[in-house]
Amino acid sequence: MARIAVTDGMAATAITRLEQSGHQVVAAHYSAQSLAEGVLADFDAVIVRSATKMTGEAIAASTSLKLIGRAGVGIDNIDLEAASAAGIVVCNTPGASTGSAIELTIGHLLASARNICRGDRDLRAGNWSKKELTGTELAGKRLGMIGFGRIAQGVGKVAQAFGMELHAFDPYLPPEIAERAGCTLHADVDEIFQICTHIAVHCNLSDETHHLVNESRLNLMTGVGADGVACGNYLVSCARGGIVCEDSVLAALQSGQLSSAALDVFEDEPIRDSPLFSEENFHGTPHIGAATLEAQTRVGLLIADSVIAFLEGGSPASVVNPN
């Protein structure tokens, strides 16, 4: 019997699966200080989401830990180098929440173009702002995607159904994948901003992508669609906080360079207040890209199966660090 810590919550069906496999599960959230002091020292495995930060210090203090399971995709909250050095396997569930993230991205794109969130706020305030809330269509516009992995490709399929033209920047993507998807791949990220009126962020957070979306790039956007309509400029990010410079977004909204910005992720989470919240053309959500009943169940069961396989001497479905 192994001891497994679940620190950020997980679907009950997944916890039951772990327990039925003969393992002891402790579901509790721990502070950064507790992690650094070795609260996980007597656990064989830990399953985290995005809230728990498995830093080098936390990993060093977790002396019995053999596996870190990330119930989700992003692994920027795990020090992979420290885990590898300690002989700890790190795995994740890259495909479990893809559909949910695609739908949320499309939802934000539609809400931006049609002023849905602002219209709702105006109605609640007693204002009938019909004349002020004329939107634009997605059809005939260029959608520029920063990163063209699973989620971006799914977003692209839906966007094409709306009549959008696809462009992407992804230096790690085989060109034939973009070609099969009917997407024009660009070697320079600046080109995406120069020709696209709608930008969707889908890359991982790294030193390379930190503040990749910044003031200088937002200022490259022309606000004129491929169909010649002066539709304005739109930004959506359901990827990771920190890729988008929030100060740059604020400045672009205030100057009118951005017609709308929608963020599901923020550089510091949970975020309680931001100058962005005062901008009428901003709308946000609290990191809910994977927050559907279907995705939560898939994520939990997939990571549970990976943990069980590892503890029984097998290999997890998706190992992300060298050992």
Task: Give CA–CA dist 9/157, Å, rounded.
Answer: 32
> Is 240 one of the catalytic residues?
yes
Q: Kindly name the residue from 37, 137, 215, 269 that is annotated as catalytic.
A: 269
Neighbours of 302 (CB within 10 A): 23
What is the enclosing helix (H) or strand (E) of 146? strand 142-146
Task: Give CA–CA dist 78/293, Å, rounded.
Answer: 25
For residue 133, give the DSSP letter: G
> Is 118 one of the catalytic residues?
no
> Is 269 one of the catalytic residues?
yes
How far CA 267 is from CA of 86, 210, 222, 272, in Å, comes to 28, 10, 27, 12
Q: Kindly name the residue from 198, 202, 287, 298 that is annotated as catalytic.
A: 287
Residue 56: which of 89, 27, 84 has the closest Cα?
Answer: 84
Q: Kindly name the residue from 217, 240, 283, 298 that is annotated as catalytic.
A: 240
Q: Are 150 and 131 in contact (CB under 8 A)?
A: no
Pairing label, strands 67-70, 89-92? parallel
Catalytic residues: 240, 269, 287
